[in-house]
Amino acid sequence: MTTDIIYPLTFDPIFKDYPWGGRNLGEKLGRAIPEGIVAESWEIAAHPNGSSTVNNGALAGLTLPQVQEKLGLALVGKRNEAALAAGKFPLLIKFLDANRWLSVQVHPDDTYALAHGGDWGKTEMWVFLDAEPQAEIIYGFKPGVTREKFAQAVTEGKTTDLLHRLPVKAGDVAFVPSGAIHALGPGTLIAEIQQNSDVTYRIDDWGRPRPLHIEQSLDVLDFDLVEPSALQPKVLLDDGGLRIEQIGQCDYFETERLTIPDGSSFYGFCDGATFEIWAVLSGEVTLSWQGEPMTIKAVNWVLLPADLGEFQMTAEANSVLLRVVTPEAEE
């Protein structure tokens, strides 16, 4: 395969105008967004409901599914052979701007989702980029909630009385596995890393006239998720300069948050096992590899193909980055 098509990929996003959105992707993140409500920006996406388009280099103009078809394992890596065989890119990367409550909802696991619609299940994680004072999310149940008790609350219109609310602030992380009842609250702005799925079962939509999915929700809800807390980052490296925290780990993705001081570098190697997805959340970095160096400013994403080889991220100002990879399958 010619090396001119193995290079760091950037994309034009897809915007979604769901009724709970606002204008903060432009006003707070400085992104160019269309007029009106913008709820979500699908940054790296390869789904029937939206596929992002490459905007740089030799592959410019191709959608991510077209790039995957062209590059195959050179893009996704050996860990993702099953996804490649299924014709799916493993992950979906978004920004969300919650100006109002999202629906109270739950996502199924792979087994249920594939049996009831053909999509994958949906495990996801949220990194809070901004949160207004008193911002909160719905995340899990209060103690003592059973399936029967919750089903009764649904019929009485009292579901929210049984739900756990968690205050959040910028920098917090919430891990949302399949089966977790959840809803983003007003005044929150997040980066979302998730399985490549668009399956959502709504339980309560705050009176908005959208379909609900009560029976499916009752089938998949995890009633053992009681008053969960925000994820506690695990420090992997802190040498007084470069700091690396693990902020998400599951069967589908592993996420690290890196704090890189001005002038310092992170050295990496895409060895064919997995692609890497990077976000610059604040600051600015130079991405160096065997080709032309790239400047990546906040707040933007880049996809590094699995066969890219050696690379380094050098901070041109104090910077915070996210790094997302797919994990090795357990034996």
Give whole-number Cα distances, 73 to 4, 67, 69, 269, in Å: 16, 11, 9, 16
202 flagged as catalytic: yes
* Catalytic annotation, pick one of 202, 208, 257, 323: 202
The 3 state secondary structure assigned to the chain is CCHHHCCCECEECEEECCCCCECHHHHCCCCCCCCCCECEEEEECEECCEECEECCHHHCCCEHHHHHHHHCHHHHCHHHHHHHHCCCCCEEEEEEEECCCCCEEECCCHHHHHHCCCCCCCCEEEEEEEECCCCEEEEEECCCCCHHHHHHHHHHCCHHHHEEEEECCCCCEEEECCCCCEEECCCEEEEEEEECCCCCEEEECCCCCCCCCHHHHHHHCCCCCECCCCCCCEEEEECCCCEEEEEEECCCCEEEEEEECCCCEEEEEECCCCCEEEEEEECEEEEECCCCCEEEECCEEEEECCCCEEEEEEECCCEEEEEEECCCCCC
Say how far apart CA 172 and CA 289 lie, in whole Å.
Answer: 31
What is the dihedral sign for C-alpha 39, 41, 45, 50?
A: positive
Phi, psi of 104 (to 5 degrees): -70, 125
How would you class 199 by CB atoms within 10 Å of its CB: exposed for 0-12, middle for 13-18, buried for 19 or more? Answer: buried
Task: Supply 200's token pair.
Answer: 């959502």
- Enumerate the active-site residues: 202
